[in-house]
Structure 1
Amino acid sequence: MHRPRRTPTPSDAPGTSGISGTSVRARLRSRIPAGRTRTRLRLTAAAAGLALATGLAATAPTASASPTASPAPPAASRTQQVEYFTPQGHPRHTTVPVATPKSLVSAHRARSAAELAADGDVTSVVRNGPTAKKVDVVVIGDGYTLAQQKDFHADAKAKWAQISAVEPYASNRSLFNVWTVDAVSNQSGVSGDPARNVVKDTALDTRFWCDDIERLLCVDTGKVEKYAAKAPDADLVIVLGNSAKYGGAGYNDITSPVGYDGIATASSDHRDSAQVAVHETGHSLGKLADEYVYDTNGTYTGAEPAAPNITKMSAAQMKAKKAKWYRYLGQNSPDGGKVGAFEGGGYYPRGLNRPTENSIMRTLGREFNLPGRQAMIDGFHRHTGG
C-alpha cells in the first residue's frame, strides 16, 4: 500500500474510582506473566501503509528472517511513522527522524542524587486485579521536575478519568489497571512551548514543532521504552507532556519487547488531548483502521483488509457473506446515523468502505461507531484472558 509522503507546512499549526496511592519502587522490571498470551503484530518503520493501524500491508520481515540481513541503520538515519492531529481534530500522518534533535541533546545536564533516586518510581493509580487478567495502562510524564511529581500523578489520574469516560472504556473500567512511572526532568515544561525556539531539558525529550508541525508532540521512543519497562506490565503506554498546549502523536509502527504496541503522547493540561490517546488506542487495542482518506490516493485495489472497520464489500455483500460488520447494518450508531457502507477509509477515497460517516477513527471528538466499540471490547478481552 502506498501512503503519500506529506510535506508539512506552517499552516498546519493552527475523577476516577478504584484509585489508590500504593507506591511501588521502580526497580521492578516488566515481564510477561506466566501463561499470559499476547497477540502482537511485528512491524518495522519500513512496513508500508502503517500496517498496525490498517491491516492493509504485509508484516515486514525481521532481521532474523535471513542470515544475510543487513544490520539496522544508525539512529541518525532511521525514521518513524507518526500520526498527529490538526486543531480541528483531523488526523494526518508524517515521518519523523528517530534521533533526538541536537539542540535538545546539548541542553542536557547531569541530574542530582535526589533526582536520580526518585527517577523511575512506579505507583499503582488504579488497581482492579492481577496484571495477567487486566489491561495495564502505563502513564509516563515528561517535563515534570522532582518537585512536580505529585502534579504529574494528579495529571495522570485526570487524564485517565477523561479517557475512561469514553465508551466502551466507561462500561469496562473494571478491566483496567493504571500505573505511573516517574520520569524526573531538570526543567519544567516541554520544548516548543510556548514558542518554537524554546528548548527544555527533560527526561524524554518531548517537543512540539516536530517535523515543523506545531501540534505534533514527539518524544524519544527509546527513553520511553526504558521507563515503561519499569512497570509490572505495559499493554498501553501514554506519555504526558507537562503543557497546556494542544497536541499529541501516535507512534503506531512500534512494537516493544516489553509487550505494548505503539506510544501515544498528549498534553497534560489540554482536555482535548485525551481524544488523541483514545484514537490511538483504537489502533493498538481495537486493531482498527483509520477511517479518513487522502484524496490523492485514488482507488484501493488490494486484498480485503484485516482491520474490522474497513472493507471492499458493499452492505449487501457483507450481509450475504455474513462478514465484517454485517450484524450492525441498519442499526443506530453512537457516532450518529445508521451503520452502513460509507465510501472512503483506510486512506483511500474509493475502493474501501467504512461503517459510519464520521467516527473517532476519522475525526477527534466523535464516538466509536458500533463495530469500533465491539472491536475495542474484543481488544480489552485479549489482554484479560476473557
Structure 2
Amino acid sequence: MNDEAPVDDFERIAVELWIAHDAIEILAVHARVPPSRPAANGPAELRYEVRDARADLVEAGTFADPRVVHSEFDRAGNVSPVVETAGAGSTWLFLPDIDGTVKIDDASTTLGILDLVRDLQTHTVPLLQPDDILGAPVKLLDNGASAQRADILFVPDGFTEAQMERFHEDVNEILEGLKRDPDYAAVWRGFNFWRQDVRSRDAGINESGQVRNTAFDVGPLGDSGRCHWPSNDGARAIRDLGATVNADYVVVIINTALHSGCATSSMTTVSITPNTAHVLAHELGHGLFNLGDEYAYAGVAAGSCASERPNIATSAARASLPWRDLLTTNTLPTPDRAEFHRFVGAFEGAGYCETGRFRPHHDCMMRSLGQPFCPVCRHARDRYFAPLGVEPEQPQIPANNKHCDHVSRVAGSNRFATAANLSRELFADGAQVVVLANGSDISPDALAAGPLAFKFKAPLLLTARDGLPIHTEDEIHRLGATRVIIVGGESVVGPGVARQLQDARITVERIFGANRFETAALIARRLTSDKPSTLAFIASGENTSLVDALAAGGPAAALGAPILLTSRDALPAATAQAIRDLGITRTIVVGGSGAVSEAVFAQLPGATRLSGPDRYQTAVAIATHAMEQDVVERSTMFLAQGIRLPDALAAAAAGRILLLTQPTTLNTHAAGFLEKHAINVTIMGGEAAVGDAVERAVCTAVQ
C-alpha cells in the first residue's frame, strides 16, 4: 500500500518517521479526516487499537481530532500510555516497538505499520521456509546460564547458503572488535553469543529499487538511506529464532556495504562496514541499556526531540537530571568548552536537538562512534548487569605513554580510526581543509598525497571506497573543515563518498588521473602551483614496492617537493611530462634497483638514490638524508610496522621522519637511528601492528 494513497474514506493515511543517524526514535501513523466526514451527532471519531510485537492488545479506544496517543514499551514489555494534544486535524499514534501494529478502524481497515512505510503492492515475498534455517544455533561464547547472562543472537539477511562462511567471518570479526572496546571488555563475561545460519534465496537486500528474496525481507526504512529493517513477517521470524535461545537481543547482519544501523528494544540491523563493531556497540547501548542518542542536528523541531533517558535530560536543573548523583561540576548548564570536557555536567545538544535537550558529558559512544562510554552511560551499563551478578572489570585502556614519557602511541580500532586520532593530535584546534584518500592496503594515491596535505596544513584522512567511515566522518566534522580534497578517481573513492560530504555542505575537489602515475603527477601540479619546486622524489608505483614511498612522505612534505611514481623498468609518460612541465632539475629516487631500475634512474635529472638492502634500511637512509639536510622537524619521529601500509599513511601530513620496524621486534637499524637522533617517538598503530615489546625497546633506545 502506498503511504500517500487514500484508504477507504480517509483523506490521507501517511507515516512520519524520525530516523536519526542510526536508530529509529519514533514512528507515527497519521490519519487525516476530511471535513465532510463528521457524524451528524458530533465530531468525527476513529477507533484505534495498538498491539505489540506479540499481537497482544496494548490499548484501545476512540479519539476525535485532535488527540495523540503515545505508548512506550520498556524492556520487559510493560506499557505506559500517555495522551497529549496534537495539532488540529491530525492524530498521531506513536509506537516505539515498530514490530507492532496499529488498527485505525473506520471501515474495518487494518493497517500494518511497515505496510505504510514501504510500498508492498508489487512485493510479495514468501515466508521463511523451515529448510532455510540451516542447522541448530551455535553458541559462540558460553559464560553461563541464560537467566544470568545477556544472550545475543546473530542472524544473517541477504546471505545465500554459499555465503554462510562469509557470514561466520563477519560475526567473528564483529565480536573481536566489540571485545577490543574497553567498555564491553569490562562486562564480557556477562554475555552469551549465539549464531544461527539462515539462508536467503537472493544475495543482498532490497535497495535501489531492487526487490530480493531474502530470509527476513530487509529493505530501506524511511529516506535517510541509513536504516534498513525487516518486514512484519521477517520481524516475527527473527523474534521466533531469538526465542529458541532465550535471546535478550537479536543482531541482524545485513548483506550490504552501505552504512546502516537501526535499533529497537529487541533487535538491531547492522551492515558490514569497517565500523560495524562500533555501530553495534552503540546499538547495544540503545537496546540493552536504554540509552538515547546524544548527537544533534540543526533545525530539528522541538516535538521531534528524544524523550528523557538515563543519558538525556529535558532540563539542566540539578533536580531534573537523571544523573544528578554522578555530577562532578556545579556549573549547570555546562559550557561546551575544553576546561569542562572532563566533567559530568549538563551539556546542551542531545536527542537530535541542539537546544532543549542535555547530555551528561562532552562526548560519548552515544554521540560519536568509536568514543568510550561516558561515566553516566557506563553506570547504565553496570545497572543492567548488576541483577545478573556481573561486576565490571576495570577496563585496560593503554595510556599514550605506556612505558616511558618520550614514547607515545597513536592507535585506533582500525586504520581509519588511527588516522583520525592522529589528526586529533596534530590538529587539535581544527582545520579548514582535509585531504582524503583510499585507505586500502595498496593505496598509491595516499602515498603521493602527504606533501599536499602538509602544504594546506591539513590532515590526511582515509576512507573506504563506497562510504565514509564513521571515524573519518566524525573527525571531518570535529575539525570544522569546509573543503575536502579527494585524491583518486571514483574507482578508489566512490561517488557516494563525495555525496556524503556534499550533503554536509562541504566543498569537494577531486584530483585524479587515468591511473596512479597520472594521479601522482596531477597532485604534484597542484602542490607546486603557487610555490614551484625544482626537487621531486621518485618512488616505485608498483604494489610490491610502495613502502619506499611511505618513508619518503614526511621529508618530501617538509621540502614542499612532490612524490612522483614510476614503474620499475619504464618511466611513465605522465611522470616524465610532469618532470618537464614543473621544471624539476633534481630528483631523489627512493628504493634500490629492484624497485626503480638503473635504466629509469638514468632518465631522471640530477638523480640521487636513497636505498638499503631492505625496506627498513631504505627508511633509515631516507631519514639520515633528511637529518643531514636539516629539512624536518626533529622533536618527534614516527615509527610504524613495515609489512602493511595503512596505519602510517596519515603520518606524512606531519612532515616528519618515519622509520619502519617488524611488528614484534624493533628493527636493529631503526633502533640505531633512534638511539642516535630521536628525542620523542610516536608509534603508529595498536599493539597488533607494533607490539608492546617493540615499544619497550624504543624506550630503551631513546632514553
- Cα distance change, pair 159–104 in 1 and its aligned pair in 2 (3 A): farther
- Cα distance change, pair 377–102 in 1 and its aligned pair in 2 (3 A): farther
Structure 2 counterpart of 1:381, one-letter code: A
Confirm whether residue 217 of structure 1 aligns to residue 231 of structure 2.
Answer: no
Confirm whether residue 283 of structure 1 aligns to residue 296 of structure 2.
Answer: no
Checking the alignment, whether the CA contact within 8 Å between 1:285 and 1:380 is kept in structure 2 is no
Checking the alignment, whether the CA contact within 8 Å between 1:247 and 1:273 is kept in structure 2 is no
Correspondent of 1:264 among 244, 263, 268: 268
- Cα distance change, pair 120–100 in 1 and its aligned pair in 2 (3 A): farther
Alignment correspondent of 2:310: 308
Higher helix share: 2
Structure 1 counterpart of 2:309, one-letter code: A
**How much has 1:310 moved relative to structure 2?**
2.5
Pairing of 1:113-152 with structure 2 (within 5 A): 116=131, 118-119=133-134, 121-152=136-167
Alignment correspondent of 1:35: none
Alignment correspondent of 1:174: 189
Alignment correspondent of 1:362: 367
**The structure with more radius of gyration:** 2
**How much has 1:117 moved relative to structure 2?**
6.8
Q: Note the aligned Cα RMSD (angstroms).
A: 4.1
How far does the alpha carbon of each residue in 1:275-323 deviate from its partner, in whole angstroms, 9 at most, with x for none?
3322222122212222234644349999xx76222235547x35xx996
Aligned mates of 1:109, 1:239 — CA distance in 2: 17
Alignment correspondent of 1:78: 112
Alignment correspondent of 1:371: 376
Aligned mates of 2:236, 2:227 — CA distance in 1: 18
Checking the alignment, whether the CA contact within 8 Å between 1:167 and 1:368 is kept in structure 2 is no
Q: Return 5+ residue gaps in structure 2 as ranges.
A: 1-14, 20-56, 60-67, 84-100, 331-337, 392-703
Alignment correspondent of 2:168: 153
* Secondary structure, counterpart of 2:282 in structure 1: helix
Aligned mates of 1:265, 1:131 — CA distance in 2: 22
- Cα distance change, pair 374–266 in 1 and its aligned pair in 2 (3 A): same
Checking the alignment, whether the CA contact within 8 Å between 1:43 and 1:52 is kept in structure 2 is no
Alignment correspondent of 1:236: 249
* Secondary structure, counterpart of 1:205 in structure 2: coil
Alignment correspondent of 2:218: 206
**How much has 1:157 moved relative to structure 2?**
1.8
Confirm whether residue 249 of structure 1 aligns to residue 262 of structure 2.
Answer: yes
Alignment correspondent of 1:381: 386
How far does the alpha carbon of each residue in 1:83-141 deviate from its partner, in whole angstroms, 9 at most, with x for none?
xxxxxxxxxxxxx84778344425x5996xxx817536311111111111111111111
Aligned mates of 1:239, 1:110 — CA distance in 2: 15
Aligned mates of 1:202, 1:165 — CA distance in 2: 32
Alignment correspondent of 1:101: 120
Aligned mates of 1:7, 1:239 — CA distance in 2: 21
Checking the alignment, whether the CA contact within 8 Å between 1:120 and 1:227 is kept in structure 2 is no
- Cα distance change, pair 246–282 in 1 and its aligned pair in 2 (3 A): same
Q: Percent of counterpart pairs with the same letter?
A: 25
Q: Return 5+ residue gaps in structure 1 as ranges.
A: 9-41, 62-69, 81-95, 253-260
Q: When the two structures are superposed, what TM-score results if normalisation uses the length of structure 2?
A: 0.37
* Secondary structure, counterpart of 1:168 in structure 2: helix
How far does the alpha carbon of each residue in 1:244-298 deviate from its partner, in whole angstroms, 9 at most, with x for none?
3321212x2xxxxxxxx3311011x312233332222212221222223464434
**How much has 1:366 moved relative to structure 2?**
2.7
Aligned mates of 1:345, 1:49 — CA distance in 2: 22
- Cα distance change, pair 5–203 in 1 and its aligned pair in 2 (3 A): closer
* Secondary structure, counterpart of 1:353 in structure 2: strand
Aligned mates of 1:158, 1:342 — CA distance in 2: 35
- Cα distance change, pair 382–217 in 1 and its aligned pair in 2 (3 A): farther
Aligned mates of 1:124, 1:376 — CA distance in 2: 23
Aligned mates of 1:245, 1:297 — CA distance in 2: 28
How many matched pairs? 297
- Cα distance change, pair 71–282 in 1 and its aligned pair in 2 (3 A): closer
Aligned mates of 2:304, 2:269 — CA distance in 1: 30
How far does the alpha carbon of each residue in 1:44-78 deviate from its partner, in whole angstroms, 9 at most, with x for none?
9x97496759xxx94469xxxxxxxx984699723
Aligned mates of 1:75, 1:188 — CA distance in 2: 35
Aligned mates of 1:307, 1:109 — CA distance in 2: 36
* Secondary structure, counterpart of 1:164 in structure 2: helix
* Secondary structure, counterpart of 1:178 in structure 2: strand
Confirm whether residue 188 of structure 1 aligns to residue 193 of structure 2.
Answer: no
- Cα distance change, pair 75–234 in 1 and its aligned pair in 2 (3 A): farther
**How much has 1:170 moved relative to structure 2?**
1.3
Structure 2 counterpart of 1:353, one-letter code: F
- Cα distance change, pair 100–274 in 1 and its aligned pair in 2 (3 A): farther
- Cα distance change, pair 179–164 in 1 and its aligned pair in 2 (3 A): same
Structure 2 counterpart of 1:184, one-letter code: R
Structure 1 counterpart of 2:295, one-letter code: Y
**How much has 1:211 moved relative to structure 2?**
2.5
Structure 2 counterpart of 1:105, one-letter code: T
Alignment correspondent of 2:663: none
Structure 1 counterpart of 2:211, one-letter code: V
Higher strand share: 2
Deviates further, 232-241 or 274-283? 274-283
Correspondent of 1:344 among 322, 341, 349: 349
Aligned mates of 1:75, 1:172 — CA distance in 2: 47
How far does the alpha carbon of each residue in 1:322-367 deviate from its partner, in whole angstroms, 9 at most, with x for none?
9624334159x9x963321112333444444211123222333332
* Secondary structure, counterpart of 1:337 in structure 2: coil
Aligned mates of 2:243, 2:143 — CA distance in 1: 20
Alignment correspondent of 2:276: 273
Aligned mates of 1:117, 1:51 — CA distance in 2: 31
Aligned mates of 2:209, 2:197 — CA distance in 1: 26
